[in-house]
Chains A and B, each alone.
Chain A
Amino acid sequence: MNWFKQLFSRRRVYNDLSEEIQQHLQEKIEELVASGMPRKEAAAAAGRDFGNITLVQEDSRAVWRRPSIEGFFADLCYALRTLRKTLGFTATAIVTLALGIGANTSIFMLLDAIRLRSLPVQNQKDLAEVRITDSGHQGMGLNQQYGELTRPLWQEIRDQQQSFSGVFAWSVNLRYVGRGSEMRHFHELRVSGDFFRVLGVRPFRGRLLMPEDEGACPMTSAVARYSYWQGELGGRDLSEGIKLVVDNELVEIIGVTPPELYGMVVGEGFDIAIPYCQGKDELRRDIFEVSVMGRLKPGVTMQRASAEKDALSPAIFEATIPSGRTAHSTETYKHFRLAAYPASTAVSSLRKYDRSLFLLLGIAGLVLLIACTNLANLMLARGSARQREMAVRLALGASRYRLIRQLFTESLLLAATGAAGCCLGAVVEPSARLVAFDRGSRGNSPDGHGLACAPLRSWRSGYDVRRFRSRAGAARYSRRTHLCDENWWPGNDRRP
């Protein structure tokens, strides 16, 4: 790091140099005076012999300089000074840029979380979801969020399908852990025994659920998500035996999932995964509560898997007809068809706004483009106002390249400040909203909020005010929380 050291010892080097040159001249003058020359003449002679002092100093300093880097810093300082002089212009430019960039980034983040980012599991491309085709099961039985099929349907699919190397079912619920005043809700991920094996998730601690864990109710073993284990459970050693009371049943945490696994739903992580259990009664045939996914066998295409599901459909639906329905309803049910769909990205209730999102991204891009055009116009106007300055600099010997570089540096500074402003907004905004939205009302809010929340939900965690209030004391308040309240989600009808 020699040049690094040089960069900081520069001032000393320059001072040494100046002093050295002064001493040199003094010595020369004194020598000449000693040989009988008047002091005034001696000084002139010494200067003559030495040459151009300023030039010598310049040349000597230039040895230590890195012209490109120092030129850039000089440009930057100058740019800062000029921008400070025209505050109005600077503020306009920065705000325009920050808004343009901010709008684009947030829309893109939303799109990325919902549409582009894959589930953090092995070979996501092979994952497929089995759903009823067309409009699905709408108007038939009870629908839970993200529920596509009934559990009897899931069992039929599991037993009859051939094209998947493994299948699993999952559903999400809000349930309660603890007793009495200690009671608090958690996000449950109900899974079939094969869930983690088919996804290819390795345990972070302990072991994950296996097919053997599925059995008769009540379930006694569960797996905690990394963040829940770290937060609510305090990262305790599993060998101590962590037992939780879930709806009055004792459940033991046998393992922890790796940190990167957030769950199956975008922005809505789970806390504890519990396997499905089989109660004494027969499973309800009219509750559409599970999502069924599978991993394609090697060499099997999505089309083939879909065709197979289609062929199996009549028998499967025949075997699972809900009782007590009208003839028309039963007939409709029997004519449902199953199909396989790619499921490499996580599920989201915003998925249905897919095309609007792309459109929104396009519009945001256009807005940024307009912002840039505006800015270019502003710069142009400013350029003509700065003609004089440029002329002076050219006259003083600056090259065209140097002036162009100066202008580029200014633009770069503006753009960087705009981006920084955008970042600042992203940091300040959540806390501002925390204040603004915590006004008591917890009902369904317009979809717009969900849209605004989603990107933040996907990458930030903050303090959940509601949780803070509902608990007996701040001491028990844990930091594992969601920034956006679940109830804000459009179409979400669950209540804590």
Chain B
Amino acid sequence: MKKSEQRDLFPGALEMMILRTLKRQPLHGYALVQHIKRTSNDLLQIEEGSLYPALQRLLKEELVKAEWAVSSTNRRVRIYRLTAAGAKHLEHEVSRFEKMLEGITRVLARGES
């Protein structure tokens, strides 16, 4: 059940959302996932854990960087920050996604008429 929900997010979608969120402000993992959930009005139903492999992938490709800090609630957290390469990658991905979405929308619209 969960698996099929996850499969609904296409590969790279989660990464894109993470990058977009981090572009607005640096966040730690928990805040990041809450923000995504809240902003999407819980429509996406992301499993919180799935965030971490995605974050590791981004770290490895050096699209984000992370450092330990102490949060306002006095908790040791790992804050993620967008790098220049990450910003560039996000731009590229978003434009690709928009093209894809436009294509799909057109095909769907044609089907209705």
Contacts and interface: CB of A to CB of B under 8 A. Distances in A.
Q: Do A and B bind each other?
A: yes
Interface of A: 6, 13, 16-17, 19-21, 23-24, 26-28, 49-53, 55-57, 59-64
Contacts of A17: 52, 56
Contacts of B53: 56, 59-60, 62-63
Given A19-B76, A20-B29, A27-B30, 20 more contacts: A16-B66, A17-B52, A17-B56, A21-B52, A23-B29, A23-B75, A24-B29, A27-B73, A27-B75, A49-B47, A49-B48, A52-B49, A56-B50, A56-B52, A56-B53, A60-B56, A61-B56, A63-B53, A63-B57, A64-B60
B56 A55 contact: no
Interface of B: 2, 29-30, 47-50, 52-53, 55-57, 60, 66, 68, 73, 75-78
Contacts of A24: 29-30, 48
Nearest to A52: B49
Nearest to B6: A51
Given A20-B78, A24-B30, A50 B56 contact: no
B47 A28 contact: no
A52 to B, nearest CB: 7
A18 to B, nearest CB: 10
Between B47, B52, B66, B76, the greatest number of chain A beta carbons within 10 A of the residue's beta carbon is seen for B52
B106 to A, nearest CB: 35
Contacts of B55: 60
Contact of B47 (A19, A26, A50, A60): A50
16 contacts: A16-B66, A21-B52, A23-B29, A24-B29, A27-B75, A50-B47, A50-B48, A50-B49, A51-B50, A53-B49, A55-B49, A56-B49, A56-B50, A56-B53, A60-B53, A63-B57
Nearest to A26: B75
A34 to B, nearest CB: 10
Contacts of A21: 49, 52
Nearest to A56: B49
A62 B68 CA distance: 22
A50 B78 CA distance: 17
Contacts of B49: 21, 50-53, 55-56
Contacts of B68: 16
A21 B77 CA distance: 10
Between A23, A24, A52, A57, the greatest number of chain B beta carbons within 10 A of the residue's beta carbon is seen for A24
Contacts of B56: 13, 17, 60-61, 63-64
Contacts of A55: 49
Contacts of B66: 16
A248 to B, nearest CB: 79
Contacts, number: 61
A190 B50 CA distance: 83
Chain B interface main SS type: helix
B29 A51 contact: no
Contacts of A62: 53
A24 B2 CA distance: 20
Given A23-B75, A56-B53, A63 B29 contact: no
Given A56-B53, A60-B56, A63-B60, A23 B30 contact: yes
A62 B57 CA distance: 10
A102 to B, nearest CB: 47
A16 to B, nearest CB: 7
B105 to A, nearest CB: 31
A55 B52 CA distance: 11
A170 B99 CA distance: 85
Contact of A51 (B47, B76, B77, B78): B47
A412 to B, nearest CB: 30
A23 B48 contact: no
Contacts of B75: 23, 26-27
A244 B53 CA distance: 78
Contacts of A60: 52-53, 55-56
Between B30, B57, B60, B66, the greatest number of chain A beta carbons within 10 A of the residue's beta carbon is seen for B30
A64 B30 CA distance: 22
Given A23-B75, A23-B76, A63-B60, A28 B52 contact: no
Between B49, B50, B55, B57, the greatest number of chain A beta carbons within 10 A of the residue's beta carbon is seen for B49
B48 A51 contact: yes
8 smallest CB-CB distances across A and B, nearest first, come from A51-B49, A56-B49, A59-B53, A51-B47, A63-B56, A60-B56, A50-B49, A60-B53
A56 B54 CA distance: 10
Contacts of B73: 27
Nearest to A27: B30
Nearest to B33: A24
A48 to B, nearest CB: 10
A445 B36 CA distance: 89
Given A26-B75, A27-B30, A20 B52 contact: yes
A449 B37 CA distance: 84
A56 B14 CA distance: 15
Contacts of A23: 29-30, 75-78
A23 B1 CA distance: 27
A403 B22 CA distance: 44
Contacts of A52: 49
A55 B60 CA distance: 19
Between B47, B56, B66, B77, the greatest number of chain A beta carbons within 10 A of the residue's beta carbon is seen for B56
Contacts of A20: 29, 52, 78
A12 to B, nearest CB: 11
Contacts of B30: 23-24, 27-28
A96 B66 CA distance: 55
